[in-house]
Structure 1
């Protein structure tokens, strides 16, 4: 893989020390998708890159190199929303971990990139973060090829009936005839239809959407734990929204 970029919009997902004075930086970029950059000297005490290469910070990056590992050559910082509250910060770390650990390397997702920007803005403003997370998880599932319609059963191709009960499987979506291997069962049709209309306010819709998205995300993670989830359960009394 060869390539370079000039003034590419990007966000840092994760960074870690590399060799003696450098950083390895996983970024989500508009046109390049998820890639890993070497920030040479970025881990040294006097490097400005330590302050610049922060999660949730809008950046314009230049890089060059062959193979999957590129060399960062220029960083320009832009203004963006700030995640000041604890639950907003933890939520941002959660979606960053999803992107870093699930997105294929070098696979562009411009629509998801736009959704990520909107999610950061919403997290910086919203007091109620749960609907924000559910909408991002839905956009992420769609980008990964696992999107589905709340209002239609995939095994019959028929609309969901308000009085019916349904199942959910990550590979199939909503199903009218669950099997022994279907991950979730007993999902109320009226609630599924409310979710299809965007209802993430009523408690019953929130509970069902959270159950479905938890199963979907666990499927995408292939059984690996999400470290950011523990932040919600151990952080300053915040409820687990993810």
Structure 2
């Protein structure tokens, strides 16, 4: 007998056509993690599902099935924030792509789900998206097991000191010596200490956090591009230092 799930909080990450009149929908849910659902008939003119199954829309979903592709049986739309600006929209697509591409399937992450709710709420009301994205990236890499301390080196276990410079290795975190996998060098100790205190607002912290997180995300992607970055760089929106 197929397993049935009811009223599961979830968000659509991505969707694509499936057969003639259906959609395959990748979702991020509270208790089931990332999974794929088949929304039968969702592409037909009379179905309300195509309008309901939108990214960034809070949903309560019912589904059934035991395989990799489960069948959506009910969709309830809940109120939620709206990403109106182009910058907020592209930033949300970046967050969704991270989850879709890198989060293992069927692996629940309730804390990351809460962080996702928070990032959508913040993107809906701010014009300064960079600190918002950096905070979500921190929660994301923590969930994947790649979290690290800004204020301690992993190769020597020593505390980071102001006035000294350090390196970043995506396999280890902040390091003192330049090993084989070091990608960034010359990171000021005082900036790392500020980041350890949660400062993603100052210019120095913005720059270092963005460089470190880009290196780590690129490492996790194994050189494959992010489509959401292309939106920023190919003229649909002029990127600035404050964007992803």
Q: TM-score range by the shorter chain?
A: over 0.9
Segments of 5+ residues of structure 1 without an aligned counterpart are none
Question: How many angstroms apart in 2 are the aligned matches of 1:156 and 1:69?
Answer: 46
> 2-side partners of 1:147 and 1:129: how far apart?
21
Describe how 1:7-156 pairs up with structure 2 within 5 A: 7-156=7-156
| Cα distance in 1 between the residues matched to 2:28 and 2:188 | 37
Structure 2 Cα separation of the partners of residues 223 and 118 of structure 1: 29
TM-score (norm 1): 0.97
1:202-221 equivalent positions in 2, closer than 5 A? 202-221=202-221
Question: What secondary structure sits across from 1:235 in the alignment?
Answer: coil
Offset from partner CA, 1:184-235 (integer Å, 9 cap, x none): 1111111101111111222111111100000011111111100000111222
Say how many residue pairs are matched.
241
In structure 2, the CA distance between the partners of 1:3 and 1:166, relative to structure 1 (3 Å rule), is farther
Cα distance in 1, alignment partners of residues 102 and 88 from structure 2: 21
Structure 2 unmatched ranges of 5 or more: none
- What is the alpha-carbon distance in structure 2 between the residues aligned to residue 52 and residue 45 of structure 1? 13
Provide the residue aligned with 1:166 in structure 2.
Answer: 166
Aligned structure 1 segments of 4 or more residues deviating by more than 3 angstroms? none
RMSD (Å) for aligned C-alpha atoms: 1.0
Distance of 1:101 and 1:70 partners within structure 2 = 19
> Paired residue for 1:186?
186
Once residues 72 and 110 of structure 2 are traced to their aligned partners in structure 1, the CA distance between those partners, rounded to angstroms, is 21
Q: Give the TM-score normalised by structure 2.
A: 0.96
